[in-house]
Copies of this chain bind each other. A is one copy, B any other.
Amino acid sequence: MKHSLPNFRIAIVGSGAIGCYYGGKLAQFGRDVHFLMRGDLEVVRKRGIRIRGKGENVHVPKVQAHARTEEIGRCDLVIVAVKMTSNAELPSLIAPLLGEGTMILTLQNGLGSEEFLAQHFGAERILGGLCFICLNRTGPGMIEHYDHGRLVIGEFGRYPQARTHDIAWEFKRCGVVCSIVADLALERWRKLVWNIPFNGLSVAAGGLDTAAILADDGLRRLAVELMDETIAIANRCGCRLPTAAALDQIKRTEAMGEYKPSTLIDYLARRPLEIEAIWGEPLRRGQAAGMEAPRLEMLYRLLVSLDRVQRK
């Protein structure tokens, strides 16, 4: 791989669907990727990582899988792909992977991930990425790829750097559509404008895909109202989103067909929902800025309850 960065070591912290997919793509093309794994460790060491669906049939037979980050040691790039619900463990998991110039790229959902990591490891290391993809982990190292796949990366609180382009190139060389954004925070809000209504209503309205939400007049209007509340908070927080963003996203979603948001997939699999990152943190930022968002607040409270009841 002549164009790749020499001796560039990559750690994947969190080997669920997102970690195995993007880490697996990098490993497939010969990158030096180390996966932190727990329950799946033995099976993945034996059988490797498989990615199927959406025209892909990838098998990475030999995977460098480790039970502890101390075994991995210093890396050049740490990709964080654990759910936000496991963040309490992150500081101790990441520490052994860090050298002087180690970059941390978080692929976590919602708001707050970069801030959390910056607090623990310094803002200068932190990059963030948004995954526009629909995946499901169907077994240890077994990833079903349903739709999309695009990765959007940017720097935390800075314009893109040379290193941002280097990382994007690495992904692109490994078959991942990857682009760079100048304003990562703005992109996070733009993604939330979609995730807040569609991920939320998919669960709160009874287990609906995006097509079913849009086919119900009341829910469709509620989705737009939730988008408008989110755009208003984003604008108040200094991220200028056009007010027409809601209608654009509705149109885009219509073209997606019967799409199952990740929160619905988690809910149906009885996994914990990333409620704080997607609904709680945007709501709190709005409240801190003196804004009312009654529908977002209500959705947040219902999801907290549904998540608790489901996992009781």
Chain B positions within 8 Å of A204 at CB level: 204, 302
Of A205, A219, A300, chain B has the most CB atoms within 10 Å of the CB of A205
One of B208, B294, B301, B309 near A305 (C-beta < 8 A): B208
Mark contacts of A28-70 with chain B using CB atoms, 8 A cut-off: 1 yes-contact digit, 0 otherwise: 0000000000000000000000000000000000000000000
- With known contacts A305-B205, A305-B208, A306-B205, A298–B300 Cβ distance under 8 A: no
A9 at interface (Cβ–Cβ under 8 A)? no
A238 at interface (Cβ–Cβ under 8 A)? no
**Copy count, this protein chain:** 2
Of A204, A218, A301, chain B has the most CB atoms within 10 Å of the CB of A301
Alpha-carbon separation in the docked complex, A298 to B305 (Å): 16
Chain B positions within 8 Å of A205 at CB level: 301-302, 305-306, 309
**Least distance between A287 CB and chain B CB atoms (Å):** 13
- A204-254 interface with B by 8 A CB criterion: 204-208, 216, 218-219, 221-222, 225
Chain B positions within 8 Å of A222 at CB level: 297-298, 301
Interface size on A, residues (CB 8 A): 25
- With known contacts A294-B294, A294-B295, A295-B294, A301–B218 Cβ distance under 8 A: yes
Chain B positions within 8 Å of A309 at CB level: 205-208
Chain B positions within 8 Å of A299 at CB level: 298
- A102-160 interface with B by 8 A CB criterion: none
- With known contacts A204-B204, A206-B310, A310-B206, A218–B305 Cβ distance under 8 A: yes
**Least distance between A300 CB and chain B CB atoms (Å):** 7
| A interface residue numbers (CB < 8 A to B) | 204-208, 216, 218-219, 221-222, 225, 294-295, 297-302, 304-306, 308-310
Kindly list the 6 A-B residue pairs having the minimum CB-CB distance in the complex, ordered from nearest.
Answer: A206-B309, A218-B301, A205-B305, A294-B294, A206-B306, A222-B301
Q: Could you give 20 example pairs across A and B, Cβ below 8 Å? A: A204-B204, A204-B302, A205-B302, A206-B305, A206-B308, A206-B309, A208-B305, A208-B309, A216-B301, A216-B304, A216-B308, A218-B301, A218-B304, A221-B301, A222-B298, A222-B301, A225-B294, A294-B294, A295-B298, A298-B299
